[in-house]
Amino acid sequence: MAEKYEVIIGLEIHVQLKTKSKLFCWCDNTGETKPPNTTICEICTAQPGTLPIPNQQAIDWAVRAALALNCTVSRHSKFDRKHYFYPDLPKGYQISQYDQPIGQGGHLDIETANGARRIELERLHLEEDSAKLLHEPGQTMTVVDFNRAGTPLIEIVTKPCIASPEEARVFLKELKELMITLNVSDAEMEKGHLRVDANISLRPENDQDLYPKTEIKNINSFRSVERALVFEIERQRALWDKGDPPTELATRGWEETKNATIEQRTKEESADYRYFPEPDIPPLAFDPEYLQKIAAETPELPSARRVRFMTEYGFSAQDAAQIISDHDLSEYAEAVLAELRAWLVADHENMRGLTWPTHKEAFSKLLASWLINRFSKMLIDAEQTPQTSRITPENFAEFIKLIEQGSINANSAQTVLTDMFETGHDPSDIVEAKQLGLITDESELSEVVRQVIEANQEKADQYRAGKIALMKFFIGQVMKATGGRADPEICQRILVEQLDGKSVK
C-alpha cells in the first residue's frame, strides 16, 4: 500500500505599489508603459554618491496593507541591505527589510470548497524592485531596462500552512481583491504587479518534521500556480515513493508550455544574503496616532463587503462572491441597487405591490444574473469597465425593473441590453422604438389565440379529449405569431378559456 503524504505549501507574494514615484527617488513609477531606460535617474541606477530618500506614500500603503492583513505593526521598523549579484540589480544589493519588517504575523481568512480556512502569515515588508532583463527574439545580447529598478514592492510571506493547490489559488485571489480594494496596487499578474513564488514540500502523514522545500518561480497566473503545485506534488511524491526525497533547498522554474517545473539551482538561505542595516536610511517610527489614522482611512474589506451584500441586499453567497471579486462591478452593483430601491418607492403601483424588504432576494438574484452572465461578458469583449460603459446605473436599474414587472421577456431583454450597451439609450425608449414590450391587451391576444386554434383544429380536439400537454404547443404558436411578445400568463388563461369554450372575462 502506497504511503500517504501531507502537502506543506507556503507562498511569497510581491505586490507592486502604484505610487506616482519610485521607492527611493522621484522617478515616474509607470515605467512599464514607457520605452526602456526612460524613467530612471542617478539614484535608481545606483550612481556613486547618491542617497535613497524613502517614499512616504509607499510606507503608508505598506502599513495600510499590514493592518488589513491583521499583522502586528511594531513601533519601530528599519531597512536592510540584501546582497546578491545579478545584472538586474544596479547596486549589487537590494534595499529590503530583514529582522524588523513593517508587519509581523497576521492572517487572511478564505472560503474553500472544504469550508473556511485561516491562512497564517509570517510577515509583510517593504522593498525595492530590481531592473528587468529583456531577451529579444533573434538577438544575441540581453538588454537591461532600469525603468522597474526602485519600484516599491510589499512582500507578503505566508507560514507553511497551506494544504493544497486549490487553497493556494483561493488565497491569492482573495489577496488580489484585498490589494485592489485598499487601492494600493492594480495587482495584475500578467503585468507583473503581483508575482508569486510557491514553496512546497511533502512529509509522511503523522510526521511533524519539515523537510527541504522547493521554491517554484516564474508563475504568472492563478491557474499556473495551481498547476505548478499539482505537478510538483506528483514529482516529489514519486521521489518519496522511491526512497529518495529532496535533501536540500532548491529552486525550480515553471514552464507553462511543458506543464512542468524545471530545476534551476539550489536555493539561497538568509546567511547567503549577508543582511545588514541600511546605513543611509534612519529607522522608521510608528506612533499609535499614526496607526490609528491609517486604520481610519482603510476602506471596507472584501470579506466584510461580501457579508454586507448578503445581509443588506439579499445576494446569495455565490453571487456576492462573484460580484465582489470585481471591485468596479461591486461599486456599480451598489449604485444600481440604490437606483432600483428608489424606483420601487416612486413606481410602487406598477411594481404590483412588490417592496424592497419583502422581495430584495428576488431583485438581487435577477440583478446578479444579468450583471454576471451578460453585462460582464460585454465589458470584457469591449475592454471596458462598468464605469466607462454607456449604461448608467439608473438605466440598468430601470432595465431590471422592466423585467421584474413583466414589461419585457428574457429574449427582448437581451436585445434591450445590447442596444443600451451600444447606444446608452434609455431602456424604455428602446422598448417603445423597437416594439419589444409584452402584449398585455386581452382583446388583441384573444384574436391571436382564436386564429391559432382555428389553424390547428385537430390538436384542439386532442386537447379537449384530455391531451393537456398540447397546451405548450398552443402557447408556442401564440408566441410565434406575436414575435415572442405575448404575456405568457394572459396567453395561457385565454387559451384555456377558448379551448374549453368559455368566454374571456
Residue 413 near residue 373, CB atoms below 8 Å: no
Count the neighbouring beta carbons within 10 Å of the beta carbon of residue 221: 14
Write the pLDDT tens digit of every residue in 411-422: 788 989 999 999
Q: Is the pLDDT of residue 440 over 70?
A: no
pLDDT for the residue numbered 505 = 40
In this prediction, what percent of the chain has a pLDDT beyond 90? 66
Residue 78 near residue 102, CB atoms below 8 Å: no
pLDDT for the residue numbered 444 = 65
Q: Residue 346 phi/psi, 5° resolution?
A: -75, -30
CA distance 332 to 386: 6
Count the neighbouring beta carbons within 10 Å of the beta carbon of residue 504: 15
CA distance 38 to 146: 8
Domain with CATH 1.10.10.410 in the chain: 442-499
Q: Is the model more confident about 441 or about 85?
A: 85
Residue 128 near residue 97, CB atoms below 8 Å: no
Alpha-helix runs per DSSP H in 347-390: 356-370, 376-382
Q: What is the mean pLDDT of residues 475-480?
A: 73
The model's pTM: 0.83
Write the pLDDT tens digit of every residue in 86-100: 889 999 999 999 999
Write the pLDDT tens digit of every residue in 3-19: 799 999 999 999 999 99
Label residue 208 exposed, middle or buried (CB < 10 Å: 0-12, 13-18, 19+). Answer: exposed
Residue 126, beta-bridge partner list: 154
pLDDT for the residue numbered 488 = 67
CATH architecture of 442-499: Orthogonal Bundle (1.10)
Write the pLDDT tens digit of every residue in 325-360: 998 999 999 999 999 888 777 665 555 666 777 888
Q: Rg of the chain's alpha carbons, rounded to an integer?
A: 30
CA distance 71 to 66: 5
Count the neighbouring beta carbons within 10 Å of the beta carbon of residue 472: 10
DSSP annotation of 350:
G
